[in-house]
Structure 1
Amino acid sequence: MQAIKQAEKKTYQRDHQLTETVLEIIDSVRSRGDAALLELAQKFDHTDLKCVKVDRPTIEKAYTLVDQETVKHITFAADQIRWFAQQQLQCMQPLNIPSLIAGVELGHRLVPIENCGCYIPSGRYPLPSSALMSVVVAKVAGVKHVAACSPAFHGCGTIHPAVLVAMDIAGADDIYCMGGAQAIAAYAYGTETVRKVDLIVGPGNKFVTEAKRQVLGDVGIDSLAGPSEVLILADETANPTFVAIDLLGQAEHDPNAKPILVCTDAGVIERSMAELNRLLADLPTRDVATISWEDNGEVYLADSMEEAIALANQVAPEHLEVQTKEERQVAAQLYNYGSLFVGHYAPVAFGDFVSGTNHILPTMSTARYSNGLCVKTFIKTPFHQYVSQEGCRNLSESCMHFAQVEGLYAHRDSVRLRVE
């Protein structure tokens, strides 16, 4: 393996100042509620709000501010995401079966979370797709009350109208104009206006991520998201233009985004880098993409496809593209990734917007042990057991012995008194 280009810096670092700043914001919202949210909206979003909850007239007005072509495509994407989530839900089944022990039945139920809060980031551009990815899936899972929030978008005085329309089409029950660590705190502890939730989902910047870390335990979270990533696995059949634009597609997300190319052909690497420079020159987002590529981009020449696959599984990227001759055979050997894009005509953009799989995915190598947002994120599987008198007798001897060994005598006697 030869490293042609390596990252110049780490894309995410947690520091003491960040921890303290977020802690102060959380404490302020927890103690002062709405008043803190309104002050922080003015401080961070430069927006003077009367209330963080977005009313129905504002949502309806958003439809008049968004062209009908955009509404049509938001609806198309929502339908795709909803359909895939419904198929996932059908794969999950309640369980109630006779045990190996006579007189005992074991199983689990599927119980949706009652209240969840979806966080939709807002930065350089509006992100209606992120509203669909979280809210639609929560509704399909059967969550009773789904809230959605996003910071005020510059120049709008509230959430960007395209994001508001997406939240509404997705089926959000409540919509709040709030962002940053203060939004996470409001979800976790509630305010006079914001309803406390049981689970917080959705990506965000380092302040959102740190806030989710700090409230974990008081409320559930989906994951701790870092900067977005792609790893492209390529061989001599890869189209250099496709490789280059897909690397830039990741780089334009954020200055901290991480685009990686692992290829078995030196010629493809050389031509891809030439194409990247050519395409970058005319890219409207080149300022961000250039920083991301120069600081975080990596390129590796692998001696074999086996070596390239091994590196991909080690990196465990958020997005993993396979642009190779034997694409399905290669894909079958990959197991650490958030979302897999197989074939020369499968860019990450499809998963980001319209294919139906979720784009809220594990980053920073956490795909080694976790997966992206899906219906099961919102569904608990609590266990149950039905035990008859016969089952009690059949389990009693082993159970009382365990209790005796562990010194839990009331446990032992709770069985003994039943069988005597």
Structure 2
Amino acid sequence: MKTIKSAEKKTYKRDRELTESVMNIIDNVRENGDSALIEYARKFDNVDVDSIRVSEEEVRSAYDKVDSETLEAIRFAESQIRFFAEKQRECLKDLTVQSKVPGLELGHRMIPIERVGCYVPAGRHPLPSSALMGIVTAKVAGVKEVIACSPAFSGFGTIHPAVLVAMDIAGADEIYCTGGAQAVAAMAYGTESIKKVHLIAGPGNKFVTEAKRQVLGDVGIDSLAGPSEVLVLADKTANPTFVAIDLLAQAEHDPNAKPMLVCTDRETIDKSLAELERLLPTLETKDVAGKSWQDNGQVYLADDMDEAIAITNELAPEHLEVQADSEREIAARLHNYGSLFVGHYAPVAFGDFVSGTNHTLPTMETAKYSNGVWVGTFIKTGFHQFVSEEGCINLSKHCMRFAEVEGLYGHRDSVRLRVEK
């Protein structure tokens, strides 16, 4: 392997200042509730609101502010996400089975979490796709109450209309105009307006991520996400223009985004980098994309495809594209990624918006042991056993021995007294 370009800085840094800042926000929300959220809306979002709850009338009026083409795109994406989520849900089944021990029946149930909070970030542009990814998936899972939180968008005094429409189409039961660490605190602990949720899902900036870290345990979370990532795995058959634009497409997310290329052919690398330099000035997002590529871009020349696959599995990217010959065979050997895009015509953009797979995915190599948001994120599996008198007798000998070895004599006697009876 030869490193052609390495990252110049670490893309995610958690420091004492961030930790303490978020801790203070959480404490303020826990103590002062809605008034703290209104205060932070004024401080961080430059809006004055009397209530953080978005009314049905505000949601209805948002439809008039969204053009028909955007509305059509939102409805299309919602149907795609719902279709795939429903197919995932079909895979999750209750189980009841007769044990090999007579008189013992074992099983589990798929139980939807009762109340979930979906966070929808707002940066330089509105993110209706993030609203769909969280809310639709939770509703398909069977969650009874899904609330959505998002900060006010500049120029509107409330959540961006496209995001509000997406939240409504997705099926949000309650919508609140609040964002950042304060929104996470509100969902985790409740305020006068917001009833505490059981799990918080959705991406966000470093303040949101740190807040999710701090409330974990008092409430469940989907994951702790870092800056977005893409890795393009390529060989000599890859189109350099496709490689270049896909790296830039990821780079434009954020100055801390991480675009990576692993390729077995030096000529393809050189042509792709030349294309990247040609295409970068044409992007409206060139300042962000250029900064991300300069600081965080990585390029590796692998000796062969076996080494390229090994490098890729070690880097465990959030998004993984395969632009190579025999792409399906290669894909079968990849196992550390958040979402896989196979083929020369499969850019990450499809997964971000309309293919139907979720775009809230593991980053920072956590794909080695975790997955992105899916229907199962919002479902817990409860185990059960039905034990008859016969089953009690058949299990008793070995159970009582374990209890004695571990010094749990009440456990032993809870069985003994039943058997002696």
TM-score range, shorter chain: over 0.9
CA distance in 2, matches of 1:334, 1:46: 46
Letter in 2 for 1:143: V
Asked if 1:363 is matched to 2:369, the reply is: no
Unaligned stretches of 5+ in structure 1?
none
Deviations 1:163-209 (A, max 9, x none): 00000000000000000000000000000001210000001000000
Name the residue aligned to 2:404.
Answer: 404
3-state SS, counterpart of residue 124 of structure 2: coil
Amino acid corresponding to residue 249 of structure 1 in structure 2:
A
Which residue in 1 is equivalent to 2:303?
303
Deviation of 1:100 after TM superposition, in Å, equals 1.3
CA distance in 1, matches of 2:49, 2:401: 63
Determine what percentage of the aligned residue pairs are the same residue.
70
Cα distance between partner residues in 1 of 2:342 and 2:395: 50
Alignment partner of 1:65: what SS?
coil
Which residue matches 1:111? 111
> Quick one: distance in 1 between partners of 2:205 and 2:195?
23
1:126 aligns with 2:123: no
1:384 is aligned to 384
**Is the partner of 2:322 in helix, strand or coil?**
strand
**Equivalent residue for 1:143?**
143
Could you say what secondary structure the match of 1:134 adopts?
helix
Give the Cα–Cα distance (whole angstroms) in 2 for the partners of residues 182 and 379 of structure 1. 26
Q: Aligned residue pairs: how many? A: 420
Look up the match of 1:329.
Answer: 329
- Residue 209 (structure 2) aligns with: 209
Instruction: For 2:277 and 2:126, locate their aligned partners in 1 and report how far apart those are by CA, in whole Å.
Output: 27
Report the equivalent of 1:394: 394
Listed one character per residue, the Cα deviations across residues 49-91 of structure 1 (whole Å, up to 9, x for unaligned) are: 1111100111111100000111111000000000000000001
Question: TM-score, normalised on structure 1?
Answer: 1.00
Provide Cα deviations, 1:317-372, integer angstroms capped at 9, x if missing partner.
00000000110010010000000000000000000000000000000000000011
Q: CA deviation at 1:398?
A: 0.5
* Alignment partners' CA distance in 2, 1:372 and 1:16: 28
Partner of 1:230: 230
Q: Which amino acid aligns with 2:406?
A: E
Partner of 2:274: 274
Give the structure 2 partner of residue 50 of structure 1.
50
Query: 1:95 maps to which residue?
Result: 95
Measured against aligned partners, the alpha-carbon deviations of 1:273-332 in whole angstroms (never above 9, x if no partner) come to 110011101100001000000000000111000000001100110000000011001001
In 1, the alpha carbon distance for the partners of 2:120 and 2:354 equals: 17
- The equivalent residue for 1:286 is 286
2-structure distance, mates of 1:419, 1:274: 79
CA RMSD of aligned residues (A): 0.4
Taking the aligned partners of 1:334 and 1:188, their CA distance within structure 2 comes to 36
Between the aligned partners of 2:121 and 2:359, the Cα distance in structure 1 is 13
What is the letter of the counterpart of residue 335 of structure 1?
A: H
For the residue of structure 1 that corresponds to 2:64, the secondary structure is: helix
Aligned to 2:372: 372
Q: In structure 2, give the amino acid aligned to 1:224.
A: L
Give the counterpart letter for 1:150 in structure 2: S
The residue type paired with residue 413 of structure 2 is: D
Aligned to 2:196, the other structure's residue is in SS state coil
Query: Structure 2 stretches of 5 or more lacking a match?
Result: none
Whole-angstrom CA distance in 1 between matches of 2:187 and 2:149: 9
Report the equivalent of 2:19.
Answer: 19
Over 4 Å off, 4+ runs: none
TM-score by length of 2: 0.99
Shift of 1:47: 1.0
